[in-house]
Protein backbone atom coordinates (compact mmCIF):
# COMPACT_ATOMS: atom_id res chain seq x y z
CA UNK A 1 0.00 0.00 0.00
CA UNK A 2 0.97 3.66 -0.23
CA UNK A 3 1.33 5.51 3.03
CA UNK A 4 1.37 9.31 2.74
CA UNK A 5 3.01 11.34 5.45
CA UNK A 6 1.35 14.59 6.46
CA UNK A 7 3.61 16.89 8.45
CA UNK A 8 2.60 20.13 10.12
CA UNK A 9 5.50 22.50 9.61
CA UNK A 10 3.87 25.53 11.18
CA UNK A 11 1.69 26.14 14.18
CA UNK A 12 -0.96 27.41 11.81
CA UNK A 13 -3.01 24.24 11.41
CA UNK A 14 -4.25 25.36 8.00
CA UNK A 15 -0.79 24.94 6.49
CA UNK A 16 -0.07 21.26 5.93
CA UNK A 17 2.50 19.96 3.51
CA UNK A 18 2.94 16.48 2.10
CA UNK A 19 6.23 14.65 2.43
CA UNK A 20 7.04 12.42 -0.48
CA UNK A 21 9.95 10.47 0.90
CA UNK A 22 10.97 9.54 -2.63
CA UNK A 23 9.82 10.61 -6.05
CA UNK A 24 8.23 7.30 -6.76
CA UNK A 25 6.32 4.58 -4.98
CA UNK A 26 8.94 2.17 -3.76
CA UNK A 27 8.66 -1.17 -5.45
CA UNK A 28 9.81 -3.54 -2.75
CA UNK A 29 8.66 -6.54 -0.77
CA UNK A 30 8.01 -4.48 2.35
CA UNK A 31 4.43 -3.93 3.42
CA UNK A 32 5.00 -0.20 3.72
CA UNK A 33 5.75 1.44 0.40
CA UNK A 34 5.60 5.20 0.69
CA UNK A 35 5.92 8.37 -1.35
CA UNK A 36 4.21 9.75 -4.39
CA UNK A 37 5.41 10.49 -7.91
CA UNK A 38 6.42 14.09 -8.59
CA UNK A 39 4.98 15.72 -11.68
CA UNK A 40 8.33 16.88 -12.99
CA UNK A 41 10.93 16.24 -15.65
CA UNK A 42 13.33 14.86 -13.03
CA UNK A 43 14.30 11.19 -13.04
CA UNK A 44 13.58 9.34 -9.81
CA UNK A 45 15.17 6.61 -7.73
CA UNK A 46 12.79 3.67 -7.37
CA UNK A 47 14.00 2.93 -3.86
CA UNK A 48 16.44 4.64 -1.50
CA UNK A 49 18.41 1.39 -1.39
CA UNK A 50 19.05 1.73 -5.13
CA UNK A 51 20.83 5.00 -4.34
CA UNK A 52 22.66 3.35 -1.40
CA UNK A 53 20.62 5.12 1.26
CA UNK A 54 18.84 3.59 4.21
CA UNK A 55 15.05 3.69 4.05
CA UNK A 56 14.84 3.41 7.82
CA UNK A 57 17.11 6.41 8.36
CA UNK A 58 15.29 8.53 5.78
CA UNK A 59 11.95 7.74 7.40
CA UNK A 60 13.18 9.68 10.43
CA UNK A 61 13.72 12.88 8.46
CA UNK A 62 10.06 14.09 8.40
CA UNK A 63 9.93 14.29 12.18
CA UNK A 64 12.98 16.54 12.17
CA UNK A 65 11.69 18.66 9.28
CA UNK A 66 8.49 19.26 11.23
CA UNK A 67 10.55 21.20 13.78
CA UNK A 68 11.87 23.62 11.12
CA UNK A 69 10.20 26.21 8.90
CA UNK A 70 11.08 24.30 5.74
CA UNK A 71 8.63 24.96 2.90
CA UNK A 72 10.50 23.02 0.21
CA UNK A 73 13.27 20.43 0.13
CA UNK A 74 14.65 18.43 -2.77
CA UNK A 75 17.52 15.95 -2.57
CA UNK A 76 19.14 14.70 -5.78
CA UNK A 77 21.69 11.90 -5.92
CA UNK A 78 23.60 11.18 -9.12
CA UNK A 79 21.09 13.21 -11.12
CA UNK A 80 17.97 11.43 -9.80
CA UNK A 81 15.67 12.60 -7.03
CA UNK A 82 16.01 10.73 -3.77
CA UNK A 83 13.36 12.60 -1.80
CA UNK A 84 11.29 15.75 -1.76
CA UNK A 85 9.23 17.64 0.77
CA UNK A 86 6.76 20.48 0.62
CA UNK A 87 6.00 22.87 -2.22
CA UNK A 88 8.70 22.56 -4.86
CA UNK A 89 7.03 24.87 -7.38
CA UNK A 90 6.51 28.03 -5.36
CA UNK A 91 8.54 31.02 -6.50
CA UNK A 92 10.06 32.94 -3.63
CA UNK A 93 12.95 35.15 -2.66
CA UNK A 94 16.30 33.32 -2.47
CA UNK A 95 18.23 36.13 -0.74
CA UNK A 96 22.03 35.80 -0.98
CA UNK A 97 21.82 32.67 -3.11
CA UNK A 98 21.67 35.29 -5.87
CA UNK A 99 25.39 35.93 -5.38
CA UNK A 100 26.42 32.34 -6.06
CA UNK A 101 24.25 32.33 -9.17
CA UNK A 102 25.88 35.52 -10.41
CA UNK A 103 29.28 33.83 -10.04
CA UNK A 104 27.99 31.13 -12.40
CA UNK A 105 26.78 33.73 -14.92
CA UNK A 106 30.25 35.25 -15.01
CA UNK A 107 31.82 32.03 -16.30
CA UNK A 108 31.15 32.12 -20.06
CA UNK A 109 32.03 35.81 -20.34
CA UNK A 110 35.30 35.31 -18.46
CA UNK A 111 36.14 32.43 -20.80
CA UNK A 112 35.47 34.36 -24.01
CA UNK A 113 37.28 37.47 -22.83
CA UNK A 114 34.26 39.73 -22.54
CA UNK A 115 34.98 40.04 -18.83
CA UNK A 116 38.48 40.73 -17.54
CA UNK A 117 38.50 39.99 -13.82
CA UNK A 118 41.62 42.09 -13.29
CA UNK A 119 40.10 45.35 -14.48
CA UNK A 120 39.93 47.90 -11.70
CA UNK A 121 36.96 49.95 -10.60
CA UNK A 122 38.78 53.02 -11.88
CA UNK A 123 39.25 51.45 -15.32
CA UNK A 124 35.55 50.57 -15.42
CA UNK A 125 34.54 54.07 -14.34
CA UNK A 126 32.73 52.74 -11.27
CA UNK A 127 32.15 55.13 -8.38
CA UNK A 128 29.51 55.77 -5.73
CA UNK A 129 27.95 58.53 -3.63
CA UNK A 130 30.61 60.76 -2.13
CA UNK A 131 33.28 59.21 -4.34
CA UNK A 132 35.49 56.20 -3.78
CA UNK A 133 38.92 56.66 -2.27
CA UNK A 134 41.99 56.31 -4.47
CA UNK A 135 42.95 53.04 -2.78
CA UNK A 136 39.38 51.73 -3.25
CA UNK A 137 39.42 52.50 -6.97
CA UNK A 138 42.32 50.04 -7.31
CA UNK A 139 40.04 47.13 -6.39
CA UNK A 140 39.45 44.68 -9.24
CA UNK A 141 36.39 42.74 -10.31
CA UNK A 142 38.04 39.60 -8.93
CA UNK A 143 38.24 41.32 -5.55
CA UNK A 144 34.51 42.04 -5.70
CA UNK A 145 33.68 38.40 -6.43
CA UNK A 146 35.83 37.17 -3.55
CA UNK A 147 34.69 39.83 -1.03
CA UNK A 148 38.20 41.27 -0.79
CA UNK A 149 37.80 44.70 -2.39
CA UNK A 150 38.68 46.76 0.67
CA UNK A 151 35.80 49.08 -0.28
CA UNK A 152 33.68 49.77 2.81
CA UNK A 153 31.22 52.20 1.29
CA UNK A 154 27.67 51.79 2.54
CA UNK A 155 25.68 49.22 0.56
CA UNK A 156 22.14 49.75 -0.71
CA UNK A 157 20.88 46.77 1.30
CA UNK A 158 21.65 45.18 4.65
CA UNK A 159 22.38 41.55 5.55
CA UNK A 160 26.17 41.46 5.61
CA UNK A 161 29.10 42.02 7.99
CA UNK A 162 29.53 45.71 7.24
CA UNK A 163 29.10 46.57 10.93
CA UNK A 164 32.50 44.91 11.41
CA UNK A 165 34.16 46.70 8.51
CA UNK A 166 37.59 48.32 9.04
CA UNK A 167 38.03 52.04 8.51
CA UNK A 168 37.68 53.04 4.88
CA UNK A 169 41.01 53.16 3.10
CA UNK A 170 42.77 51.01 5.70
CA UNK A 171 42.93 47.76 3.70
CA UNK A 172 44.75 47.19 0.43
CA UNK A 173 42.41 45.60 -2.15
CA UNK A 174 42.79 41.83 -2.12
CA UNK A 175 44.28 41.65 1.37
CA UNK A 176 41.25 41.40 3.65
CA UNK A 177 38.05 39.32 3.46
CA UNK A 178 34.76 40.82 4.59
CA UNK A 179 31.31 39.60 3.60
CA UNK A 180 30.14 42.92 2.25
CA UNK A 181 27.08 43.62 0.12
CA UNK A 182 28.75 46.59 -1.54
CA UNK A 183 31.16 44.17 -3.19
CA UNK A 184 28.42 41.81 -4.33
CA UNK A 185 26.13 44.52 -5.68
CA UNK A 186 29.04 46.21 -7.47
CA UNK A 187 29.92 42.80 -8.96
CA UNK A 188 26.44 42.76 -10.48
CA UNK A 189 26.93 46.23 -11.92
CA UNK A 190 30.34 45.26 -13.29
CA UNK A 191 28.81 42.22 -15.01
CA UNK A 192 26.24 44.40 -16.74
CA UNK A 193 28.79 47.06 -17.63
CA UNK A 194 31.23 44.65 -19.26
CA UNK A 195 28.72 42.36 -20.98
CA UNK A 196 26.10 44.92 -21.94
CA UNK A 197 23.49 42.48 -20.59
CA UNK A 198 21.00 42.83 -17.76
CA UNK A 199 21.56 40.22 -15.06
CA UNK A 200 18.04 38.86 -15.16
CA UNK A 201 18.13 38.51 -18.94
CA UNK A 202 21.35 36.51 -18.56
CA UNK A 203 19.72 34.43 -15.83
CA UNK A 204 16.89 33.59 -18.21
CA UNK A 205 18.89 32.85 -21.36
CA UNK A 206 22.03 31.33 -19.80
CA UNK A 207 20.49 29.24 -17.03
CA UNK A 208 16.70 29.14 -16.87
CA UNK A 209 16.03 28.23 -20.49
CA UNK A 210 18.84 25.73 -21.18
CA UNK A 211 18.40 24.03 -17.78
CA UNK A 212 14.66 23.72 -18.33
CA UNK A 213 13.54 25.68 -15.28
CA UNK A 214 9.93 24.69 -14.73
CA UNK A 215 8.78 27.69 -12.73
CA UNK A 216 10.91 30.65 -13.81
CA UNK A 217 9.21 34.00 -14.38
CA UNK A 218 11.33 36.82 -15.75
CA UNK A 219 8.83 39.38 -14.45
CA UNK A 220 9.36 38.27 -10.83
CA UNK A 221 13.06 39.14 -10.87
CA UNK A 222 13.69 42.65 -9.62
CA UNK A 223 16.39 44.85 -8.21
CA UNK A 224 15.94 46.67 -4.93
CA UNK A 225 17.79 48.69 -2.33
CA UNK A 226 18.14 52.20 -0.99
CA UNK A 227 19.78 54.05 -3.86
CA UNK A 228 20.38 57.05 -1.62
CA UNK A 229 22.93 54.91 0.20
CA UNK A 230 24.60 53.39 -2.87
CA UNK A 231 23.97 53.57 -6.60
CA UNK A 232 24.31 49.78 -6.87
CA UNK A 233 21.09 47.88 -6.06
CA UNK A 234 20.80 44.24 -5.07
CA UNK A 235 19.75 41.94 -7.95
CA UNK A 236 17.21 39.82 -6.08
CA UNK A 237 16.02 36.54 -7.60
CA UNK A 238 12.83 34.55 -7.11
CA UNK A 239 13.17 30.83 -7.83
CA UNK A 240 11.43 27.57 -6.96
CA UNK A 241 13.01 24.76 -4.95
CA UNK A 242 13.15 22.37 -7.90
CA UNK A 243 14.81 24.99 -10.10
CA UNK A 244 17.32 25.70 -7.33
CA UNK A 245 18.12 21.98 -7.49
CA UNK A 246 18.90 22.37 -11.20
CA UNK A 247 21.39 25.10 -10.37
CA UNK A 248 23.11 22.79 -7.92
CA UNK A 249 23.09 19.88 -10.34
CA UNK A 250 24.76 21.99 -13.02
CA UNK A 251 27.50 22.85 -10.55
CA UNK A 252 27.90 19.20 -9.53
CA UNK A 253 28.28 18.33 -13.23
CA UNK A 254 30.97 21.02 -13.49
CA UNK A 255 29.01 23.17 -15.90
CA UNK A 256 27.78 20.47 -18.27
CA UNK A 257 24.09 19.74 -18.93
CA UNK A 258 22.70 17.12 -21.28
CA UNK A 259 26.01 16.91 -23.08
CA UNK A 260 26.28 20.67 -23.58
CA UNK A 261 28.95 22.84 -22.00
CA UNK A 262 27.16 25.75 -20.28
CA UNK A 263 29.87 26.94 -17.90
CA UNK A 264 33.58 26.22 -18.35
CA UNK A 265 34.68 23.37 -16.10
CA UNK A 266 37.71 25.39 -15.06
CA UNK A 267 35.45 28.23 -13.91
CA UNK A 268 33.27 25.95 -11.78
CA UNK A 269 36.40 24.64 -10.11
CA UNK A 270 37.80 28.13 -9.62
CA UNK A 271 34.70 29.64 -8.01
CA UNK A 272 34.33 26.65 -5.66
CA UNK A 273 37.98 26.60 -4.59
CA UNK A 274 39.14 28.30 -1.42
CA UNK A 275 40.30 31.87 -1.84
CA UNK A 276 39.84 32.71 1.83
CA UNK A 277 40.59 29.91 4.29
CA UNK A 278 38.56 29.63 7.46
CA UNK A 279 41.33 31.04 9.63
CA UNK A 280 41.45 34.16 7.40
CA UNK A 281 37.75 34.96 7.66
CA UNK A 282 36.59 38.28 9.12
CA UNK A 283 35.19 39.21 11.53
CA UNK A 284 37.11 36.84 13.76
CA UNK A 285 33.90 35.14 14.94
CA UNK A 286 33.58 33.53 11.48
CA UNK A 287 36.82 31.60 12.04
CA UNK A 288 35.10 29.24 14.49
CA UNK A 289 32.71 28.07 11.78
CA UNK A 290 33.13 25.39 9.13
CA UNK A 291 33.54 27.65 6.10
CA UNK A 292 36.02 29.45 3.98
CA UNK A 293 35.04 31.39 0.87
CA UNK A 294 35.54 31.13 -2.87
CA UNK A 295 33.91 33.32 -5.51
CA UNK A 296 30.54 34.00 -3.85
CA UNK A 297 30.27 30.33 -2.77
CA UNK A 298 30.88 29.10 0.80
CA UNK A 299 33.39 26.23 0.93
CA UNK A 300 33.62 23.65 3.72
CA UNK A 301 37.03 24.13 5.30
CA UNK A 302 37.24 22.43 8.67
CA UNK A 303 39.04 19.26 9.79
CA UNK A 304 36.14 18.56 12.15
CA UNK A 305 33.53 17.79 9.50
CA UNK A 306 32.84 14.38 7.98
CA UNK A 307 34.97 13.26 5.00
CA UNK A 308 31.68 13.12 3.12
CA UNK A 309 31.91 16.94 3.01
CA UNK A 310 35.17 16.73 1.05
CA UNK A 311 34.99 19.25 -1.78
CA UNK A 312 31.53 20.41 -0.68
CA UNK A 313 30.26 23.95 -1.11
CA UNK A 314 27.01 25.80 -0.62
CA UNK A 315 25.04 28.91 -1.49
CA UNK A 316 23.46 30.48 1.58
CA UNK A 317 20.59 32.96 1.75
CA UNK A 318 18.77 34.64 4.62
CA UNK A 319 15.74 32.98 6.21
CA UNK A 320 16.65 29.49 5.00
CA UNK A 321 17.59 29.46 1.31
CA UNK A 322 20.34 26.93 0.54
CA UNK A 323 21.82 25.08 -2.43
CA UNK A 324 24.42 22.55 -1.30
CA UNK A 325 26.66 20.41 -3.50
CA UNK A 326 28.38 17.35 -2.01
CA UNK A 327 30.62 15.84 -4.71
CA UNK A 328 31.68 12.89 -2.53
CA UNK A 329 28.06 11.70 -2.56
CA UNK A 330 27.12 13.07 -6.00
CA UNK A 331 24.41 14.84 -4.04
CA UNK A 332 22.61 18.16 -4.39
CA UNK A 333 20.31 19.54 -1.70
CA UNK A 334 17.98 22.48 -2.34
CA UNK A 335 16.18 23.95 0.66
CA UNK A 336 13.64 26.76 0.82
CA UNK A 337 11.87 28.72 3.52
CA UNK A 338 9.48 30.95 1.61
CA UNK A 339 9.09 34.44 3.04
CA UNK A 340 6.96 37.46 2.28
CA UNK A 341 3.54 37.56 0.62
CA UNK A 342 1.96 38.35 3.95
CA UNK A 343 3.37 35.29 5.71
CA UNK A 344 5.92 37.11 7.81
CA UNK A 345 9.55 36.12 8.01
CA UNK A 346 9.82 32.63 9.37
CA UNK A 347 13.34 31.33 9.09
CA UNK A 348 15.30 28.09 8.98
CA UNK A 349 18.68 28.73 10.55
CA UNK A 350 21.92 27.33 9.20
CA UNK A 351 22.17 25.07 12.25
CA UNK A 352 18.68 23.75 11.53
CA UNK A 353 19.57 23.08 7.91
CA UNK A 354 22.88 21.52 8.94
CA UNK A 355 20.76 19.05 10.88
CA UNK A 356 19.07 18.09 7.60
CA UNK A 357 22.44 17.56 5.91
CA UNK A 358 23.78 15.51 8.80
CA UNK A 359 20.73 13.24 8.75
CA UNK A 360 21.09 12.71 5.03
CA UNK A 361 24.74 11.79 5.46
CA UNK A 362 23.86 9.44 8.30
CA UNK A 363 21.39 7.71 5.98
CA UNK A 364 24.12 6.93 3.45
CA UNK A 365 24.90 3.19 3.47
CA UNK A 366 28.64 2.72 3.91
CA UNK A 367 28.59 -0.84 2.57
CA UNK A 368 25.28 -2.16 1.26
CA UNK A 369 21.74 -1.35 2.33
CA UNK A 370 19.85 -4.28 3.75
What's the chain look like in SS3?
A: CEECEEEECCCCCCCEEEEECCCCCCCCCCCCEECCCCCCCCEECCCCHHHCECHHHHCCHHHHHCCCCCCEEEEEECCEEEEEEECCCCCEECCCHHHHHHHHHHHHHHHCCCCCCCCEHHHHCCCCCCCCCCCHHHCEHHHHHCCCCCCCCCCCCCCCCHHHCCCCCCCCCCCCCCCCHHHHHHHHHHHHHHHCCCHHHHHHHHHHHHHCCCCCCHHHCEEECCCCCCCCCEEECEECHHHHHHHHHHHHCCCEECCEECCCHHHHHHHCCCCECHHHCCCHHHHHCCEEECCCCEEECCCCCCHHHCCCEEEEECCCEEEEEEHHHCEEEEEECCCCCCCCCCCCCHHHHHHHHHHHHHCECCCCCC
Low-confidence ranges of the chain (pLDDT < 70): 1-37, 39, 340-345, 368-370
> Shortest CA distance to 99 belongs to which of 364, 325, 294, 370?
294
Q: What is the pTM of this model?
A: 0.90
Could you tell me which residues come within 8 angstroms of residue 143 by beta carbon, excluding any fewer than 6 positions away? 149, 150, 173, 174, 183
Phi, psi of 291 (to 5 degrees): -115, 145
Name beta bridge partners: 300. Answer: 291
Distance CA 347, CA 358 (A): 19
Rounded to whole angstroms, how far apart are CA atoms 111 and 138?
A: 23
Q: Note the pLDDT tens digit of each residue in 197-212.
A: 999 999 999 999 999 9
User: In a 10 Å sphere around its CB, with 0-12 CB exposed, 13-18 middle and 19+ buried, how is residue 329 labelled?
Assistant: buried
What pLDDT is recorded for position 340? 66
Comparing C-alpha atoms, which of 363, 364, 357 is closest to residue 68? 357
CB-based contact 222:237 (threshold 8 Å)? no
Query: Can you tell me the distance from the alpha carbon of 191 to that of 258, in angstroms, rounded to the nearest whole number?
Result: 27
pLDDT at 41: 86
Q: Has domain 95-236+273-307 been given CATH number 3.40.710.10? A: yes
Parallel, antiparallel or unpaired: strands 256-257 and 260-261: antiparallel
In the chain, where are the structural domains located?
A: 1-89+239-257+311-370, 95-236+273-307
pLDDT recorded at residue 11: 31
Model pLDDT, residue 10 = 34
Q: Are 315 and 323 in contact (CB under 8 A)?
A: yes
Neighbour count for residue 220 (Cβ, 10 Å): 15
CA atoms within 13 A on the CB side of 70: 32
Other beta carbons within 10 Å of 19: 22
Whether the Cβ atoms of residue 86 and residue 9 lie closer than 8 Å to each other: yes
- The candidate with the shortest Cα–Cα distance to 73, out of 369, 302, 331, is 331
The Cα 115–Cα 91 span in angstroms is 31
State how far the Cα of 318 lies from the Cα of 166, in Å rounded to an integer: 24
Please compute Rg for the chain using Cα positions: 21
Amino acid sequence: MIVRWFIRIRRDSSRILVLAATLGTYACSSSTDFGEPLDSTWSQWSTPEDASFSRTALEMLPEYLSTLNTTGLMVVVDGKVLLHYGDLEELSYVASVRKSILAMLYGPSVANGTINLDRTLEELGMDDHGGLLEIERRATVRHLLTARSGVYHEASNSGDDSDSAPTRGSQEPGSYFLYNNWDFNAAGAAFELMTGREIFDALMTDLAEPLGFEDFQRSRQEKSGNLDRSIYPAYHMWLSTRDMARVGQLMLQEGSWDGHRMIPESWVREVTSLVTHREQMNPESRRSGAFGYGYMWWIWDSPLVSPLYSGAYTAKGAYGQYITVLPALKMVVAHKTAVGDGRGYDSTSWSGYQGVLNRLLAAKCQESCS
